[in-house]
Chain A
């Protein structure tokens, strides 16, 4: 039916055919080269110049940064070793990775199944749930801090379940806040999937779970990656809930970073150098994770799967 051979689409392989692959490349091209280069350079500079400043500040002295210098007056790399002892950064990073990672995985998984039900089936209250999920996104965090804390501490007092101060409490909170958006990302994505595949599978006798696992899941990698990233970042960058609900053993990197920014009244300069160094160190895991997973964000649903 189509000129391209149906290639099995698995993550990591771009569905180009070998013969005439240059032509294929041309077909897929979206922008003329000069414009492409301009966009990349412009956006790259936009992003990298402040990042360069962060790096330069991390090797400068604190006084230098407070004086507003861009190019350091004195260069020292000691901040990168100091950050590990000034605050519990190692503990913080471990906790952050655990909590945010768990949030990402579970949120992505739950959102696939929830979105699947919401998109492919109809039932009373479906639209209300969809709208409600979005409405929940508009609730401000500052409104929720006290009530959530009250809720959890009551659980501790009356049910004996110690939630505050554990990574579990944080994980559950982040998961709940990440779910509405993750679900919506999957909903938008799933709507774009052709239903023929599922219908074919069902004709072959697949159950709901079977359809979910064997058809939907493999096709929705881009959506899963994106919703996973957002869930991860929610847990990674949150400060408000983390500062209230953690103890020194369970604190996240975001809380540890706050200490660097603490400017006390009357005379102490914040540790700008260490804060910048720590910021880069904390951003690195996420960027690396993305580097690994971005290959799943590759184009083209299997053309051949649709017969």
Chain B
């Protein structure tokens, strides 16, 4: 059908997909049993050799050290046994038991996950708004787009140092807030540190969402814009029903990756708060760092890292299923 469809077609209908193409229509429905050919996947002539270079690299440089790390977690490895670490005494599950019962690990995992979640939830609308706002050409758009990128480009420890200086007691932030009569108290120690971390992380990482949303917006056809314009769709409805479905794929990915990055972000809390960290902000990377590089208990920290990996992998796979990121056919994007 062409886009000069009758005006009776409601926005929702045209929004349901791109200009439908006859041949492919049925193939796009998820779970359709039309056979592999219909799904556009082929079993013949697969250039699987293209997977080799990337695969080899990842196995050698990520998987092997990872296995080494797992091995270290069952050893009693500390500064006394580090030198001949292969022959360090094998203590099996002792490190794991200690990590779960006698260390702040579970508290740290909880802190890490909750702060990442909060940061992601706030950065999503910010990033989408920025992408949407810079989608249409206007004078100076290139400069604005580049400016938006700056927080993400600045090295993490510079961001942390800058914010640490700005948030010190009696510093600029306190003074600025005092002029409107708000007294917040200590930013960098005490119960508020959690929120400080969330805020600084939001500032530093919203461009990440912005970039991915921007790339997602590029796949919106002009025809779709045309169609919804013809239907007289209001900007909010158009955004919500027409454009946002295109973003679902990149943003589901962004949400996941962003969370993982935040959970593993060591530099930001380390430089902001220092070590030992206030109890309310003792997040996972700080805990493993202190255990490894200050208490020198490598075996224990490897066990901690491994447990947290497992704890995070479970929701990760649940999430993958839920947004169907790993389903071949419906990329979790448009239907």
Residues from chain A with Cβ under 8 Å of B53 in the complex: 110
Bound: A267/B217 CA distance, A: 52
Cβ of A105 within 8 Å of any chain B Cβ, yes or no, is no
Residues from chain A with Cβ under 8 Å of B157 in the complex: 239, 257-258, 261
Residues from chain A with Cβ under 8 Å of B284 in the complex: 140
**Extra pairs beyond A44-B144, A261-B157, A287-B150 (9, CB < 8 Å):** A27-B225, A47-B150, A134-B325, A151-B65, A176-B60, A191-B331, A239-B156, A297-B215, A303-B221
User: Digit string of A1-20 for contact with B (CB within 8 Å is 1, else 0)?
Assistant: 11110000000001100000
A180-B58 in contact given A39-B129, A237-B155 (Cβ < 8 Å): yes
Residues from chain B with Cβ under 8 Å of A288 in the complex: 146
Cβ of B281 within 8 Å of any chain A Cβ, yes or no, is no
Bound: A303/B221 CA distance, A: 7
* Distance between A64 CB and nearest chain B CB, rounded to angstroms: 11
Chain A residue, CB-CB nearest to B44: A121
Secondary structure dominating the interface of B: helix
A185-B215 in contact given A68-B171, A257-B158 (Cβ < 8 Å): yes
Instruction: Report yes or no: B46 in contact with A46, Cβ–Cβ below 8 A.
Output: no
Residues from chain A with Cβ under 8 Å of B267 in the complex: 239
Cβ of B72 within 8 Å of any chain A Cβ, yes or no, is yes
Instruction: Report yes or no: A151 in contact with B172, Cβ–Cβ below 8 A.
Output: no
A36-B133 in contact given A1-B2, A143-B69, A290-B145 (Cβ < 8 Å): yes
A43-84 with Cβ < 8 A to chain B: 43-44, 46-48, 50-51, 53-54, 57, 65, 68, 70
Instruction: Report yes or no: A283 in contact with B153, Cβ–Cβ below 8 A.
Output: yes
User: Digit string of A150-189 for contact with B (CB within 8 Å is 1, else 0)?
Assistant: 1100000000000000000000110111011101110011
Chain B residue, CB-CB nearest to A44: B147
Instruction: Report yes or no: A30 in contact with B136, Cβ–Cβ below 8 A.
Output: yes
Instruction: Report yes or no: A283 in contact with B264, Cβ–Cβ below 8 A.
Output: no
Instruction: Report yes or no: B72 in contact with A147, Cβ–Cβ below 8 A.
Output: yes
Cβ of B165 within 8 Å of any chain A Cβ, yes or no, is yes
Bound: A29/B72 CA distance, A: 56
Instruction: Report yes or no: B50 in contact with A116, Cβ–Cβ below 8 A.
Output: yes
A120-B133 in contact given A31-B235, A192-B219, A196-B24 (Cβ < 8 Å): no
Residues from chain B with Cβ under 8 Å of A25 in the complex: 136-137
Instruction: Report yes or no: A188 in contact with B250, Cβ–Cβ below 8 A.
Output: yes
Instruction: Report yes or no: A297 in contact with B142, Cβ–Cβ below 8 A.
Output: no
B109-158 with Cβ < 8 A to chain A: 126, 129-130, 132-137, 142-158
User: Digit string of B203-230 for contact with A (CB within 8 Å is 1, else 0)?
Assistant: 1000000011011011111110110010
Bound: A114/B49 CA distance, A: 9
Residues from chain A with Cβ under 8 Å of B57 in the complex: 172, 175-176, 179
Q: Which of B40, B222, B249, B261 has the most CB of A within 10 A?
A: B222
B223-251 with Cβ < 8 A to chain A: 223, 225-226, 229, 235, 238-239, 243, 246, 249-250
- Please pick, from B135, B149, B203, B305, the residue contacting A290 in the complex, using a CB distance under 8 A: B149
Instruction: Report yes or no: A121 in contact with B43, Cβ–Cβ below 8 A.
Output: yes
Instruction: Report yes or no: A117 in contact with B48, Cβ–Cβ below 8 A.
Output: yes
Chain A residue, CB-CB nearest to B326: A130
Cβ of B289 within 8 Å of any chain A Cβ, yes or no, is yes
Closest 8 CB pairs of A and B: A147-B65, A191-B331, A147-B68, A176-B61, A143-B305, A279-B158, A222-B218, A27-B229
Instruction: Report yes or no: B4 in contact with A188, Cβ–Cβ below 8 A.
Output: no
* Distance between B167 CB and nearest chain A CB, rounded to angstroms: 10
Instruction: Report yes or no: B46 in contact with A48, Cβ–Cβ below 8 A.
Output: no
Bound: A143/B307 CA distance, A: 12
Chain B residue, CB-CB nearest to A237: B155
* Distance between A150 CB and nearest chain B CB, rounded to angstroms: 7
B260-290 with Cβ < 8 A to chain A: 260-261, 263-264, 266-267, 271, 284-285, 288-289
Instruction: Report yes or no: B21 in contact with A306, Cβ–Cβ below 8 A.
Output: yes
* Distance between A217 CB and nearest chain B CB, rounded to angstroms: 13
A30-B132 in contact given A2-B223, A131-B326, A191-B249 (Cβ < 8 Å): yes
Residues from chain B with Cβ under 8 Å of A306 in the complex: 21
Instruction: Report yes or no: B46 in contact with A123, Cβ–Cβ below 8 A.
Output: yes
Cβ of B34 within 8 Å of any chain A Cβ, yes or no, is no
Instruction: Report yes or no: A240 in contact with B62, Cβ–Cβ below 8 A.
Output: no
* Distance between B26 CB and nearest chain A CB, rounded to angstroms: 14
Cβ of A89 within 8 Å of any chain B Cβ, yes or no, is no
Cβ of A205 within 8 Å of any chain B Cβ, yes or no, is no
Bound: A39/B62 CA distance, A: 41
